[in-house]
Amino acid sequence: MVVTRATSEVADLDHDQLARMAIRVVIENWHGHATVPSRRLYPHQWSWDSAFIALGLQHLAPSRAAVELLSLFGAQWADGRLPHIAFNPAVTDDAYFPGPSFWRSSWLEGHPPIDTSGIIQPPVHAIAARAVMDRLGSSGLDFAARAYPALVGQNSYIRERRTVDGLAVVVHPWETGLDNSPAWDEPLRAVPADLSLFESYTRRDIDHARSSERPTDEDYARYIRLALAYRDAGYDDDWVRSSGEFVVVDPGFNGLWAWSELALAQMARGLGRNPDRHLSEAERITTALVDQLWSGARGIFLARDTRPGVLLGERTVAGLIPLVLPGLPDGIPTALCATLTGPSFCAGQPGVHGVPSFDFTDPRFNSRRYWRGPTWLNTTWLVAEGLRAHGEDALARRLCDDMVALVAGAGFREYFNPRTGSGHGTNNFSWSAALLLHVVAEG
């Protein structure tokens, strides 16, 4: 594959200086035992953010990365679910919507010691925990002994409470991490957008970011409705799988779930345990992913809406994430690389920065609106990891160069215009800083 080098300035950038700036961001966003994604827009601990943040923190202070993850595991529910937000009690309820009084986790029997949301996010934590375990040296096994049961609990919850036909379902767009992806437009059409909800609830996100870069009020009303319904059903997963209005199988979530089982196998080995159940689980999920979500015609993994039982045709970056799996059948990695470098994503091409979150050729592509086109550093890094898993080192390197160039050009923004490199969303965003540290440290 022919890969163009990133812009020539990349070579001249002072990586040490950027790393120092990144350290300042993650330190400023640290609140004693965890890192907020952003002081104003996201003033609590977010689940998958913490995993990406820990990958960066391991280079600064591995013990801090360990605390970040263990702090999140302290918010785990008795059923194993790792909630998507662990609320900081020092922050007022109205600083973020929906806050603790909306989710009402403390009303539940056996609730965790702190307030949390009731939904989950992609299980990327074992990847970070394995890296932190290795980085900690002699104390790595003590950390792993504490982290491993929480991670096993997280994946058991997904397997036992959240699967349909062997793959994990998400019951809210927020559970995918790619909240506003155009892939959710069709399933969300079935969810009424009741704008009168804003008589009782106030969006806080648009106080801190431009509304043109955030979800519309209609979509936000749907998010509120879905979360309220799950909450009012007592976060009952039998109910939500059979009666929820949004029950979707996401290739990104499932790809990361399988990948996390491979990381758990390595942690199990380190702890002197048998890794086989993790290896066979990774294989089982990979096979189901290929059988149910691979589209040879589209050259990408697609999401599936379980309610009508149909594949959703959108090409999104989530469909490229299963590339992280080394056990994909022959032909699929090559086809994914062709899609990644082809007209939908143009990765590695001159004038394109990182991996756009959505298909350039779709009329709904939007270079500024949250998850509907912009490049994000976490998904670009995941695709780079996938490329490395399949020997595509030159393109992986190019994507990491792009990550550095984007930050050098626009700062630690939440997301970036894939064509111009301009920064959007919030500033001083933690995973942008942490992943910059990670790719710089890993060379």
Residues with a known catalytic role: 179, 414
Tokens representing 347 are 């990765």
Give the separation between CA 63 and CA 245, rounded to whole angstroms: 42
Closest to ligand 2M8 by CB, 174 or 257: 174
How far CA 31 is from CA of 44, 396, 431, in Å, comes to 9, 33, 15
CB distance 208 to 95 below 8 Å = no
Distance CA(127)–CA(265), nearest Å, equals: 11
Residue 20 CB neighbours (<10 A): 11
Site membership for ligand 2M8, residue 205 (CB under 6 A): yes
Residue 316 phi, psi dihedral angles, 5° rounding? -125, 165
Of 18-26, 46-54, 137-145, 148-156, the window that binds ligand 2M8 (rule: CB under 6 A) is 46-54
207 or 393: CB nearest ligand 2M8: 207
Per CB under 6 A, 245 contacts ligand 2M8: no
Element (H, E) at 249: strand 248-249
Task: Output 292 or 379, the one with its CB closest to ligand 2M8.
Answer: 379
42 is an interface residue for ligand 2M8 by CB under 6 A: yes
DSSP assignment of 9-47: HHHHS-HHHHHHHHHHHHHHTB-SSSB-SBTTTB-SEEH
- Which CB, 266 or 430, lies closer to ligand 2M8? 430
Name which of residues 166 to 195 contact ligand 2M8 (CB under 6 A). 174, 177, 179
- The correct pick among 46, 259, 345, 381 for binding ligand 2M8 (CB under 6 A) is 46
Q: How many residues are recorded in the chain?
A: 443
Q: Which residues from 65-94 bind ligand 2M8, rule CB under 6 A? A: 84
Q: Which stretch binds ligand 2M8 (CB under 6 A): 42-50, 274-282, 392-400, 433-441?
A: 42-50
Count of positions on this chain that bind ligand 2M8 (CB under 6 A): 10
Q: Give the binding range for ligand 2M8 (CB under 6 A) out of 40-48, 271-279, 313-321, 435-443.
A: 40-48
CB 433 within 8 A of CB 412: yes
Q: Give the residue with the Cβ less far from ligand 2M8, 213 or 261.
A: 213
- Omega of the bond leading into 173 within 30 degrees of 0 (cis): no
Using CB under 6 A as the binding rule, whether residue 135 contacts ligand 2M8 is answered as: no
Query: Which residue number, 117 or 286, has a Cβ lying nearer to ligand 2M8?
Result: 117
Stretch that binds ligand 2M8, among 44-52, 294-302, 383-391, 396-404 (CB under 6 A): 44-52
Q: Which of residues 20-39 bind ligand 2M8 (CB under 6 A)?
A: 37
Q: Least separation, in Å, of the C-beta of 370 and ligand 2M8?
A: 7
Q: How far is the CB of 377 from ligand 2M8 (least distance, A)?
A: 11
Burial of 360 (0-12, 13-18, 19+ CB in 10 A): middle
The answer to whether 65 touches 57, Cβ cutoff 8 Å, is yes
Instruction: Confirm or reject binding of residue 257 to ligand 2M8 (CB under 6 A).
Output: no
Phi, psi torsion values for 441, nearest 5 degrees: -65, -35
Rule CB under 6 A: say whether 49 interacts with ligand 2M8.
yes
Closest listed residue to residue 100, CA positions, set 113, 110, 109: 113
* Residue 305 near ligand 2M8 by CB under 6 A: no
Closest distance of CB 219 from ligand 2M8, Å? 11
Token pair in block for residue 105: 């986790």
Question: Residue 130: how many CB atoms within 10 A of its CB?
Answer: 23
Least distance in Å: CB of 16 to ligand 2M8?
27
User: Is the Cβ of residue 84 or residue 413 nearer to ligand 2M8 in the bound state?
Assistant: 84
As a whole number of angstroms, the distance between CA 38 and CA 209 comes to: 11
Bridge pairing between strands 310-311 and 294-295: unpaired
Q: Which residues bind ligand 2M8 (CB under 6 A)?
A: 37, 42, 46, 48-49, 84, 174, 177, 179, 205
